[in-house]
Amino acid sequence: MKKFYIQTLGCKVNQYESDGIALDLERQGWIKGQKSKESDVFIVNTCAVTSKAGMQSRQAVRKIIRENPNAKVIVTGCHAQTDPDEIRKIDHTNQIVCHQDKTKIADNINLICDNRSTIGFKKTDYSSTKMFMGFDHAVKGSMTRAYLKIQDGCDAFCTYCIVPHARGSSVSMPQKEILEHLKELNDSGYKEVIITGIHTGMYGLDFKKKSSLLQLLEKINKGKPVYRIRLSSIEPGEINEGIINLATKGNILCDHFHIPLQSGDDDILQKMKRPYNAGLFEDIINKIHKKIPGAGIGVDILIGFPGESDQQFQNTYNLIAKLPIAYLHVFPFSARKGTPAFHYDNKIYPEIIKQRCAKMRELGKRKKQAFIKANIDKKLEGLVLNQTDRKTGMLKAVTSNYLTVFLKNQPDLKGSILDLKYEKNDDKTIITTEIL
């Protein structure tokens, strides 16, 4: 029996696609190996969201080749799509597989292993109608929670972002298939499904009879094909009252919103080609908090966009500081070749970007501590994960509002939904709980 191993870099969409490839290979009799020298085929699913991600993708490929000189190596993902020539420079890669063909890797595995070439590689034609590239079955990975990609691609073309050039225009999975996949995941024992996409809020707008993310979520909420769902990310201008209401008690959507702000300065947002201003962002955060005071709200921040002054950075900092944010993901600006911002003047010195990122991350730590403190002694619904925490030896649970809760290791609790209460919080934010 042949063994394979998949290394995944980047986002939840990549993780979903890697899980789907793995499942198809296992159905064909392949065995999923560990990251060792025992696998016959290695697949690297790359990321291109930043230049660092692209570099890390190439490093991952080189390391695998170095440690497994006799294995076949397949490279796919966004970095392979946007910079195939960089991948071709790496000796002993057997195949570069484009996005449109990555779901067919399992079907073509023997062909791939017998040839050194680039299969099905072509630049995306944005003028053509694209079919949703997904799997004809629910994707079941090794994690307690499942991913379901309902949308791919992006039409926004923010000036700093390479992703539309990698993924193409926005396409959506039909509602019927989504409901079927959710039911299949529920029947397989998954109690939480993470709904993901490249630009999830664009869901349904590419259909001949236009639909929307809200209509989809309302249909899921009505049928309840699975216990609960979580949105991986949603843009500020695409969160509406209907979606917020679906995250209130008794509904299927987790009370957790991850929202990419990028900048809290209106001029920078305009240069980024982001379709909202700081006022709209502030308004939507306050609406969520007013309706669901315990909701976990995470925010993406992009630091050091060309021309960002000290005051413009401070505007972002001040906006975050005054809002009920639970955690931050802070990224330094990375000039991506092929995007308009690559050519913008007034680049910010790396040392200044580093200092600003550190300041923003420190604010993020304080926000996280405040959110944890606000949840102590409150009743929280948690899904117990199958994995035991390496440091503490305890079980971990993820609450609906996206807090990590630690439990005494009772194996029979794995995979179950429990009502929990925080008892204490130490300096490392490791929290023990009471089961109610």
Residue-wise pLDDT for 224-264, tens only, equals 999 999 999 999 999 999 999 999 999 999 999 999 999 99
Judge if 68 and 101 occupy the same domain.
yes
Judged against a pLDDT cut of 60, whether residue 123 lies above it is answered with no
Here the CATH number for the domain that contains residue 170 is 3.80.30.20
Give the H/E segment covering residue 61: helix 51-67
Q: Indicate the DSSP class of residue 340.
A: G
Q: Which of 316-320, 346-350, 405-409, 412-416 has the lowest mean pLDDT?
A: 405-409
Q: Which of 65-69, 110-114, 271-275 has the lowest mean pLDDT?
A: 110-114
Mean pLDDT of all residues belonging to the chain: 90
pLDDT of residue 326: 97
Residue-wise pLDDT for 297-306, tens only, equals 999 999 999 9
Here the CATH number for the domain that contains residue 10 is 3.40.50.12160
pLDDT of residue 425: 56
Judged against a pLDDT cut of 60, whether residue 8 lies above it is answered with yes
CB atoms within 10 A of CB 46: 28
Band (pLDDT 50/70/90 cuts) for residue 436 is: low
Judge if 171 and 275 occupy the same domain.
yes
Residue-wise pLDDT for 330-369, tens only, equals 999 999 999 999 999 999 999 999 999 999 999 999 999 9
Q: Based on the structure, what is the number of domains in the chain?
A: 3
Band (pLDDT 50/70/90 cuts) for residue 268 is: very high
Q: Note whether 200 and 231 are within 8 A (CB).
A: yes
Here the CATH number for the domain that contains residue 408 is 2.40.50
Band (pLDDT 50/70/90 cuts) for residue 114 is: low
Percent of the chain scoring above 70 in pLDDT = 92
pLDDT of residue 129: 46
Residue 132 lies in a domain: no
Alpha carbon 319 to its chain's center:
24
CB atoms within 10 A of CB 369: 13
pLDDT of residue 121: 46
Judge if 289 and 155 occupy the same domain.
yes
Judged against a pLDDT cut of 70, whether residue 430 lies above it is answered with no
Residue 141 lies in a domain: no
Task: Please name the residue ranges forming H helices in 95-195.
Answer: 99-102, 109-114, 163-167, 175-187
Domain interval for residue 170: 146-374
Residue 269 lies in a domain: yes
Judge if 303 and 394 occupy the same domain.
no
pLDDT of residue 141: 85
Judge if 12 and 115 occupy the same domain.
yes
Residue 124 lies in a domain: no
Mean pLDDT, range 13-42, rounded to an integer: 89
Judge if 263 and 307 occupy the same domain.
yes
- The number of residues in the chain equals 436
Judge if 277 and 317 occupy the same domain.
yes
Band (pLDDT 50/70/90 cuts) for residue 130 is: low
Judge if 237 and 367 occupy the same domain.
yes
Judge if 91 and 28 occupy the same domain.
yes
Those residues whose C-beta lies under 8 Å from the C-beta of residue 277, and which sit 6 or more positions away, are 266, 269
Judge if 230 and 304 occupy the same domain.
yes
Band (pLDDT 50/70/90 cuts) for residue 406 is: confident
- The pTM of this model reads 0.91
Residue 133 lies in a domain: no
Judge if 64 and 99 occupy the same domain.
yes
Residue-wise pLDDT for 196-214, tens only, equals 999 999 999 999 999 999 9
Final residue before a domain boundary, out of 322, 352, 374: 374
pLDDT of residue 127: 38
Helix (H, G, I), strand (E, B) or coil at 192: strand
Judge if 93 and 164 occupy the same domain.
no
Q: Which of 38-42, 155-159, 430-434 has the lowest mean pLDDT?
A: 430-434
